[in-house]
Structure 1
Amino acid sequence: MRRKTKLIHGGIPFDPHTGAVSVPIYQVSTYKQDDIGVHKGYEYSRTGNPTRHALEQYIADLEEGARGFAFSSGMAAIHAVFSLLSAGDHIILTDDVYGGTYRIVTKVLNRLGIEATFADTTSLEETEKALRPNTKALFVETPTNPLLKVTDIAAAAVWAKSKQLLFIVDNTFSTPYWQTPLALGADIVLHSATKYIGGHSDVVAGLAVVKNDKLGEELHFVQNAIGGVLAPQDSWLLIRGLKTLGLRMEAHEENARAIVAYLSGQPTIQSIHYPGLPNHPQHELAKRQARGFGGIISFDVGSGEKASEVIGKLKYFTLAESLGAVESLISVPARMTHASIPKERRALLGITDGLIRISVGIEDSEDLLEDLEQSLN
């Protein structure tokens, strides 16, 4: 089954009880039991809900995994996965990681006795340097937010397996339409489903998919114990959003390519970060391990003042947190999504005050290009 077909027919494509071609919203908290412990597969909606189950089966199929899990936010999904670890364990994480991931690792997990080291995972040599005797997991975000660095998933998987590490990949930017990390050797895939999977700026959610049943049992225990599950209405919104994921991802990328081509000819732009550029450090790797380059672009205009000036003149780019929606969104990571990262660390990573991130929408590309031109000039 090809990818666009799988987006329509994957998972549980209709309600098994009524034949409805859209799985209903089971807005229910508890379920009648025929006898003590005898039920129809559901007892309590924190443990399992038919609408959420349909979504979880759907994302498991798309990511080519054994079992999927839906959470109330991307951070809830990350927290649940990190809860598979124990006090005294150590994690290696990509250095250029989303600010919320950095925050939970350095401000929450550290209080629970879980240690972390941030490394440039685009280099196996640098990743190896971060290894400790108590290292239990490798967490990779690829492409990264906001500098679009790309880690070799297959190579990292081989290395992680040789060290007996749990290998976790945040696949938010690429989605399963462009990239399937489990097929490349990852153990767990994570998504902020608020972004491309939802795609319409109307739901906050997180997803996780595991490669085998053993991990599935462990993560389901954590999900049920902590309880940060996704509600039925939001689960239904994600199911609906996923139906058009292929069409949207192709449209996002088509517009992104046009904008990158325009920005490349502007002398005031100091740098552009996009895996689709031939001069991107991991361009060939991105071509090899993913089926597309995505719709996120970062570029540096030189200063925070210039960034504010550029953004202030735009008409079709909405200044907002988040990404992956049908409308084009624009942000300054240093003052928004990555403000929780200390300024010195941002400078070390290259997240400057003049760095602008665009989540390219699916508007007419000519309107977006004209808007950028009048703003930059």
Structure 2
Amino acid sequence: MTRPRRRRGGHAATPRRGGESLAGWLFVAPVVVILGLFLLLPILMAMWVSLTSWNGQGSPFKSGVPFAGLDNYSRLFTRDDLARENFMISIRNNFYYVALVVPLQTVLALGLALVVNSRLLKGKSFFRTAFYFPSVTSSVAISVVFLFIFSNSGAVNQLLAMFGVQGPEWFSDPRGIVHVLLGIDDPPAALAGDGPFGLSWWEWLSGPSVAMCAIIALVVWTTSGTFMLMFLAALQDIPVALEEAATLDGARRWQRFRYVTLPMLRPTMFLVLTLGLIGSWQVFDQIYVMSQGNPAKTTLTPAFLSYRTAFRDFDYGAGTAISFVLFLIIVLLTLFQRWVLRERRA
């Protein structure tokens, strides 16, 4: 008769029962089923739709729906037609949007967190609530308010008129902000030729339009409050002894911030930049309420183009393909951002 093995402490080792694995799967089964039905299955169905020419009538899984294969994807990059032009314009617009929104909202959120975390500030609860309030307000309501503020007779142009400055037609000027600042309407001959993906270099280098700049100001103002809370939580988690030790070593305020505070904020910084990157590439509601992609497609974004292609043009295959390309762009940029912010050994 074999005896059970004994551990070093003298206790008999209990053999692992196969029922434990079964019990574990039973506990996680509801979550797996819910995620499979409401997340994985819709993604697979949408992927199938992106390979068809479904017009929204009937079921996309019937045999009569034309199968397009990868044609919906290839036309976004290779065909010289309106579909590729609109997609590349939306990519250009969203690129400028991301390049301005992500740094501005991150810097503003970190600055606000440093302000409300200061020991000398009185009324911290009031300022924290005031800075966070735009983030909990309806984006549609704020977009309508900004639409009135930046109208031709709105408060912004009225304020500029008080200083003798003629305000721009925010949602009517199709020129890029770079062209507006330089005062150039006609492109130079060197930049007027064909550029990448059917757009000229003059169009790629135009910068965001005046209307897009107004939308950028709105988004930075409404999103910085949420990221402020993340930075604030990370700042309060930094041991006070570290800053006191740096102060005793003769480090100035900027040196303490650069060599003590910022390295401790690296995980939170990565989270804020990742969420900001994902959210800025998915911008839709502000575009839908304020501009609908106008003027002259200068506020058109891939998310809004996907909606317009599917639900207005009834080309659900092409619209879904745009959304999957957008998903791939977000994943690649997130991985690149993670590689840039990785921990480096000394």
Q: Same fold (TM over 0.5)?
A: no
Q: TM-score w.r.t. structure 2 length? A: 0.25
Relative contact order higher in (CA < 8 Å, ≥ 6 apart): 2
Which is helix-richer, 1 or 2?
2
Q: TM-score w.r.t. structure 1 length? A: 0.24
Which is strand-richer, 1 or 2?
1
Higher Rg of the two aligned structures? 2
